[in-house]
Amino acid sequence: MNDLTVGKEGSQILKFALPMLLGNVFQQLYNIVDSIIVGNFIGKEALAAVGASFPIIFLFLSLIIGIASGSTIVIAQYFGAKDIEKVKRTINTLFIFLFFASITVSIISIFFSEEIFRLLRLPEEIIPQATTYFNIFMGGVVVSFGFNGTSAILRGLGDSKTPLYFLIISTFINIGLDLLFVLVFKWGIAGVAIATVLAQGGAFFTAVVYLNRTHKIIRFALKGLSFDKVIFKKSVKIGLPTGLQQSFVAAGMMALISIVNDFGTNVIAAYSVAARIDSLAALAGMNFAAALATFTGQNIGAKKIERIKAGLIATLKMSSVISILISAVVLIFGHFIMDLFTNDPEVIRIGREYLTIVGAFYIVFTAMFTIAGVMRGAGDTIIPMFISLIALWVIRIPGAWILSRHLGEIGIWWAIPLGWFVGLVLSFIYYLTGNWKKKTII
């Protein structure tokens, strides 16, 4: 556990953010290794199938993830106020919610999977592999929620190192099982999905055993487990806007992939790879923003408002430097990066085209996310939700549809940074109003 209400703001946030960043790099690493193995040993149709699955997976999980993020803020604020009993009750409530929600989502998503892929106009030759991957992944979502819920709780308590260790374990298990199931057992795309579920399950159960033996606050036990309706309402109040935002973002990703699908398998496969690189590049902004949210939550709880502005400035400086370096790597080595995933020259060309356009604007995404981190940490999640919806549904999706009709797939790529610019401007304007300071929930 780490008290973020004392000490130098920048160094506190950096020490907290780096383990999260490194952990998520490992998490994205095994997603990238999945794609490398799929693209090189199964084929570009399978690569497209994996890429088409993720927006749908994100849609089904996003609302629950949002409510869970609300619980993380509640935990951070109670911990900042030194109310450990309510911290424990919030943790119990979150685990009960995650268990029943994950079972429900798993059943519904598997039942409707094939119809969803057809609704998105995914080419018929890709649908069988996409459905196989999606159904296996969603069948194991309960352990994924358990693992990610545990990590979120630890971060709310100021501990970002312990989740890193479990992520490293999960990553190496996943890579090893990928190679075994695809290269040795020849299970194809099903093997990739099974490897991911088993890796997350192994990491979660390792975390359960370790934390039950060593942690002062977190305990996994059915005895004494209780659901606190009042705390859950607070978590929903904060987390529901974020969950709805994530749901609309996921729906936007599905709308975007439906536009991409009109351009055929090569563009779908290239977009699948480029989106993986995007996910890796976005980690600096997302993890520094998450660290800043916890920092803000604890300092709001401790009534130390003056530390938050200094924390934001320090976070913007650190995350921007990293984003600029990532952009440079993507712009210079984009072709070689695409070569890792496929040997199809047309897929490589289209992916390089995407990375050149979108990769130049990662710093805009980072700044937008970082500023939103302050509002979320304070418990003000409604305005960031609307800002995100405007950037996505008013700018990016219509822009992608209109520009793609004139420029081809390049128009889709240009619409992405355009949405980020609008989101950044609106987020900064709202931050300057100072209204977020009035949204503390304890």
Q: Does 328 reside within a domain?
A: yes
Query: Do 20 and 290 contact (CB within 8 A), yes or no?
Result: yes
| Amino acid at the residue 198 | L
Q: What are the tokens at 301?
A: 């709880």
Q: Give 10: exposed, middle or buried? Use CB within 10 Å, 0-12, 13-18, 19+.
A: middle
Q: What is the pLDDT of residue 2?
A: 65
Q: Residue 303: exposed, middle, or buried by beta-carbon count in 10 A (0-12, 13-18, 19+)? A: exposed
- Total domains in the chain come to 1
CB 364 within 8 A of CB 417: yes
Classify residue 4: in a domain, yes or no: no
Tokens of 378: 């304070």
Alpha carbons 238 and 371: distance in angstroms, whole number: 17
Residue 1 lies in a domain: no
Q: Which residue has the tokens 């160094």?
A: 11
Tell me the C-alpha distance between 340 and 99, whole Å. Answer: 37
pLDDT reported for residue 250: 81
Per DSSP, the residues of 108-136 read HHHHHHHHHHHHTT--TTTHHHHHHHHHH
Question: What pLDDT is stored for residue 26 in this prediction?
Answer: 77
Which of 273, 258, 253, 285 shows the shortest CA–CA distance to 58? 253
Render each residue's pLDDT in the chain as its tens digit; 442 residues.
567 777 888 888 998 888 878 877 877 777 788 888 998 899 888 988 888 888 888 888 887 877 777 787 788 778 878 888 888 888 888 888 889 999 999 999 999 999 999 988 888 889 999 999 999 999 999 988 888 788 877 777 777 788 778 878 888 888 899 999 999 999 999 999 999 999 989 888 888 887 778 777 777 777 777 899 998 888 888 778 777 777 888 888 889 989 998 998 899 999 988 988 888 888 888 889 988 988 888 888 777 888 888 999 999 999 999 999 999 999 999 889 999 898 899 999 999 999 999 999 999 999 999 999 998 888 787 888 889 889 999 999 999 999 999 999 999 999 999 999 999 999 999 999 888 877 665 5
Q: Could you give the dihedral angle defined by the CA atoms of residues 145, 148, 151 and 157, in that order, rounded to the nearest 10 degrees? A: -60
Residue 90's CB is within 10 A of a number of other CB atoms, namely 28
The boundaries of the domain holding residue 372 are 9-438
The pTM of the full predicted model, rounded to 2 decimals, is: 0.76
Q: What gap in Å lies between CA 414 and CA 58, rounded to an integer? A: 23
Measure CA 339 to chain center. 25
Q: How far apart are CA 257 and CA 254, in angstroms?
A: 5
Find the DSSP H helices in 140-228.
141-156, 161-179, 189-214
Alpha carbon distance 427, 5 (integer Å): 25
Give which of 242, 275, 232, 237 is closest to 372, Cα–Cα: 242
Residue 2 domain flag: no
> What pLDDT score was predicted for residue 428?
94
Place of tokens 């990739």: 192
What was the pLDDT predicted at 186? 92
Q: Give CA–CA dist 20/24, Å, rounded.
A: 6
The pair of structure tokens assigned to 24 is 């998520």
Contact 373, 288 (CB under 8 A): yes
Question: Residue 230: exposed, middle, or buried by beta-carbon count in 10 A (0-12, 13-18, 19+)?
Answer: exposed
Tell whether the torsion through CA atoms of 146, 276, 424 and 388 is positive or negative: negative
Find, among 66, 332, 29, 46, the residue nearest to 167 by Cα. Answer: 29
**413 within some domain:** yes
Q: pLDDT at position 354, please?
A: 96
Half-sphere exposure of 213 (CA within 13 A, CB side): 6
151 in any annotated domain? yes
pLDDT value of position 168: 83
Alpha helices in 342-396 (DSSP H): 345-359, 362-377, 382-389
The DSSP code for 438 is G
Distance CA 322, CA 239 (A): 28
